[in-house]
Amino acid sequence: MVYALEINPDTFPTARFANISSLVNIALPLVLAGAALTFLMMSLMSAFNILTHGDNPDVLKKAYSSLMFAVVGLIIVIASFVVVRVIGGIIGAQLLPQ
């Protein structure tokens, strides 16, 4: 007696990802939106701390460093997006949605 499971997209949900580009096409916009929301929240919190704690140098230092980390993180996310786009162009695969 053979117990086997037929793997198709209807019975096995992970089989919907036929290749890496379909997975990247789903995950990358979600990651980019999450990074943008994180940048927005960190920027707003830093700006709020700068405005409300203008006379406390320790809080100002933390707020400026938090704002710097938010900007550096956004630059890293944008650079990774560009790198994936360039690699996709070099190998001829459409890794990102158009």
Q: What is the pLDDT of residue 1?
A: 60
Note the pLDDT tens digit of each residue in 85-95: 888 788 877 66
User: Is 96 a residue whose pLDDT tops 80?
Assistant: no
Q: What is the pLDDT of residue 24?
A: 72
Average pLDDT on 36-48 reads: 94
Single-letter code of the amino acid located at 5:
L
Break the chain into its structural domains and give their ranges.
19-91
Q: Is the distance from CB of 42 to CB of 67 less than 8 angstroms?
A: yes
Average per-residue pLDDT in the chain? Answer: 82
Prediction pTM value: 0.68
